[in-house]
Amino acid sequence: MNSAQFQKALEQLRGWRQYAFLLALAERAFPNFVLFAESQGLKSPAVMRVLLDQAWQMLVERDHDIDPYRLLTRLESLVPNPEKHESYGAFPAADMGFLLESALLCRVNTDKPRGAEGSARALGTVMSFLEVSEGEGMDDDDLVRLFDRHELMRVERSFQREVVVMLRRQRAPTEDFIQELREMAANGGVSNLGIALDDDDQEAAP
């Protein structure tokens, strides 16, 4: 699947497929949120983990009593405002929150397409990280080359394409399929920035 095919397929995602795509992006970004929160001495990772779990639960359980509006309200209190923090980690943490918010908004407004914006945000997290960590002193052309060749960008693009292919082939969000998707997205506790959860944090993850 080339870039144009991916974008077309992404724009065609609707309903539970778009929701699952955005949840998968949020799951992959979860360790970024954990690292920032722990660096600030916050206890919010446990709450964020619960919100993610409940968001996945809504996908596989028809008779759930989970209110997406309540989850959105709780999420708002967890997501950091990068303008109020000196730590760069607030930016990828906020991106993770944006992805989960986008997924939940799919539950309350199914008509608006959000997949392409979520895809771009996740890729932007990686690009911003590379610019900060490896791009000092580079001009725009050098940065483009850095993004094109870097392993983190290749892995993120490959992950997003694989998720889209899986979703297009799947007829319904069965429990087995969603578990497979969650485990792939969780990536053994390693985020799209290569940040790994420690053993305690991984115990709460899928």
Amino acid at position 184, single letter? M
pLDDT, position 206: 53
**Averaged pLDDT, 138-155:** 94
Distance from CA of residue 80 to its chain's centroid?
16
DSSP secondary structure string, 84-99?
G-SSTTHHHHHHHHHH
Burial class (CB in 10 A: 0-12, 13-18, 19+), 82: middle
**What is residue 147's predicted lDDT score, i.e. its pLDDT?**
95
Q: Are 25 and 122 in contact (CB under 8 A)?
A: yes
Instruction: Say yes or no to pLDDT of 120 above 50.
Output: yes
Chain segment 11-40, per-residue pLDDT in tens: 999 999 999 999 999 999 999 999 999 999
pTM listed for this prediction: 0.94
Q: How far is 34 from 188, CA to CA, in rounded Å?
A: 14
Domains and CATH numbers, the chain: 11-204 (1.20.1590.10)
On the question of pLDDT at 205 being above 80, the answer is: no
pLDDT tens-digit series, residues 173-190: 999 999 999 999 999 999
Question: pLDDT band for position 204 (50/70/90)?
Answer: very low
Count of beta carbons in the 10 Å neighbourhood of residue 175: 10
